[in-house]
Amino acid sequence: MPKNKQFNKEIVLEAAAGIFRQKGYNGTSIDDILTATGLSRSSLYDSFQDKHNLYLKSLEFYKDSNDKKIQTVDEKNLNGLEKLETMFKSVVNHLVEHPDDNGCLLVNAAAEMSKQCFKTSQVVCNNKDEVQDILSSWISDAEQKKVLKLHKPAKIYGQFLYNTLCGLRVMSQSGAGKTELNNVVKVALDSLN
Amino acid sequence: MPKNKQFNKEIVLEAAAGIFRQKGYNGTSIDDILTATGLSRSSLYDSFQDKHNLYLKSLEFYKDSNDKKIQTVDEKNLNGLEKLETMFKSVVNHLVEHPDDNGCLLVNAAAEMSKQCFKTSQVVCNNKDEVQDILSSWISDAEQKKVLKLHKPAKIYGQFLYNTLCGLRVMSQSGAGKTELNNVVKVALDSLN
DNA sequence: AATGTATCGGAACGCTTATTCCAAAAGACT
DNA sequence: AGTCTTTTGGAATAAGCGTTCCGATACATT
């Protein structure tokens, strides 16, 4: 049978997501992608159709690996509030320790592409709804375990905390430092009581 | 003496800001700018140097008109909390009533350009600090007038509410509707007590 | 009306872009 | 070892990009 593929699709998608995150969709050239992924021109078009398709595939890959990170927190033996704290701490840590690492591809995609590409907007919107649901479930859990006493339905706090999360990504790209981001998280989590 | 300019610089900058907001910096071509502004190619390069300079000028223009909107609220005869409520209501209203109107140029600039262009990052960062200061001053005012009783310094709440504001813009571009955005604002403002 | 200077429209330039194509290379099978 | 199918590198293509340039235009001045 034929020669095997000489690259790993997931590694390529991760590298592609990285370069799209740095330079945006329109700011990234095919040559940028080739050097970032190590792929040859032919392999790229053979395996990923074209630039736009590769963008969508790497956006979905990025979303999936984001989901997995959240699931890792979810599987820990913690109550909902502790899960929230863990998650926010790791998000802020990542933002602070990788200031050059250019923000969240999903946020960047929402800003640059969501109104021009329906499929991008679908991924971005699905991510929003899914993350909100997980956050809401953590909040419900904290309420059930009497760690929190809510004044509003858990779903609303899920929406609020997702908003906080989006804000953190933008603020980090707007030059906010560690203290600033930690302050935001502190007020947001305190507001649950 | 010479013939007069046949265009108004502010109107041009507003139109340019509009097209950059829709398509981003790299997604906007010179031809896009010419049709959006009505300018001729020569006039554009005569008056604004090049595309990148026009982008920065229109970003600054956008920031200034944003500042003016906030100042309009600031000049009203309201206490700080009422000013906050007025401002958030008008932001959400604008997002909901102009869903096609593609988000905030400053947020989009932070996502697309801030790490690649120092001047862009300066404008974005200055805007962050200035808006945070105004929000903080409103919060202090509300505290002084005993409308609010804070548990943390006003500055921290300013940072938090600016974060909320950024989040709203991203969430709106991620497909969030009126109820969702209003819920976020409600929780954020309730958290001041 | 004539003059002089700045604006303007559009052709032209050179570079970069995304994409295609083809011959050469390379492994899995018989 | 030979065959067959797929991958791969790189040249080629055509369209689009930002920018420059120049002749024609148009107005404020004399």
Is A156's CB within 8 Å of B22's CB? no
Q: Residue B2: which pLDDT band, with cuts at 50, 70 and 90?
A: low
Residue with nearest Cα to nucleotide D16 C1':
B29
Residue B1's pLDDT is 41
CB B143, CB B150: distance < 8 Å: yes
Residue B3 has what pLDDT? 62
Rounded mean pLDDT, B64-93: 97
- Please say if the pLDDT value at position B4 is more than 80: no
Name which of B25-39, B58-72, B93-107 the model is least confident about.
B93-107
B162 pLDDT above the threshold of 70: yes
Establish whether the CB of A34 is closer than 7 Å to any nucleic acid atom in strand C.
no
How long is the CA B63 to C1' D29 vector, in angstroms?
Answer: 39
Shortest distance between the Cα of A41 and any Cα of chain B, in A, equals 23
Smallest Cα–C1' distance to nucleotide D29: which residue has it? B1
Nucleotide nearest to B46 (CA to C1'): C7
Name the nearest CA neighbour of A56 among A2, A124, A4. A124
Examine the pLDDT at B102 and tell me if it is beyond 80.
Answer: no
Instruction: Give per-residue pLDDT as tens, A129-184.
Output: 999 999 999 999 999 999 999 999 999 999 999 999 999 999 999 999 999 999 99
Q: How many CB pairs under 8 A join A and B?
A: 158
- Distance separating alpha carbons of residues A112 and B83, to the nearest angstrom: 31
Distance A17 CA to D9 C1' (A): 24
Q: Is the pLDDT of residue A9 over 50?
A: yes
pLDDT band at A28 (very low <50, low <70, confident <90, very high): very high
Given an 8 Å threshold on Cβ–Cβ distance, is B174 in contact with A125?
yes
pLDDT at B50 over 90: yes
* DSSP, residue by residue, A155-180: HHHHHHHHHHHHHHHHHHHTT--HHH
Please report the pLDDT score of residue B145 as a whole number.
95
Mean pLDDT of chain B: 94
Say if residue B193's pLDDT is above 90.
Answer: no
Q: Is A163 within 8 Å of B160 when comparing Cβ atoms?
A: no
From CA B49, how far away is CA B44, in angstroms rounded?
7
pLDDT > 80? residue B6: no
Q: By CA distance, what is A174's nearest residue in B?
A: B125
Neighbouring C-beta atoms of residue A13, cutoff 10 Å: 21
**Cβ-contact B125, A174 below 8 angstroms:** yes
The confidence band for B101, taking pLDDT boundaries of 50, 70 and 90, is confident
- pLDDT value for B100: 79
Distance to chain B for A36, nearest Cα, Å: 17
Gap between the Cα atoms of B143 and B139, Å rounded: 6
| Nucleotide with C1' nearest the B1 CA | D28
Pairwise CA distance, residues B193 & B190, whole Å: 6
Q: Give contacts of B100 with chain A, Cβ < 8 Å.
A: 115
**How many other C-beta atoms are found inside a 10 Å radius of the C-beta of residue B9?**
12
Q: Which of A58, A111, A93 minimizes the C-alpha distance to B110?
A: A111
- Exposure class string for A158-169: b at 16+ Cβ within 10 A, else e: bbbbbbbbbbbb
Alpha-carbon distance of B89 to B91, in angstroms, equals 5
Place of tokens 């700080």: B80
Residues 77-136 of B with CB under 8 A from A: 100, 102-103, 107-108, 110-112, 114-116, 121, 124-125, 127-128
Closest nucleotide to B32's CA, by C1' atom?
D17
What is the distance between the terminal CA atoms of chain A, rounded to a whole angstrom?
63
A79-126 pLDDT, tens per residue?
Answer: 999 999 999 999 999 999 988 787 899 999 999 999 999 999 999 999
Q: What is the mean pLDDT of residues B36-57?
A: 94
Interior angle at CA B172, CA B167 and CA B177, nearest 5: 120
| Domains observed in chain B | 59-190 (1.10.357.10)
Contact A184 B165 (CB under 8 A): no
Q: Taking 70 as the threshold, does the pLDDT of residue A2 lie above it?
A: no
Residues 29-68 of B with CB under 7 A from strand C: 39-43, 46-47
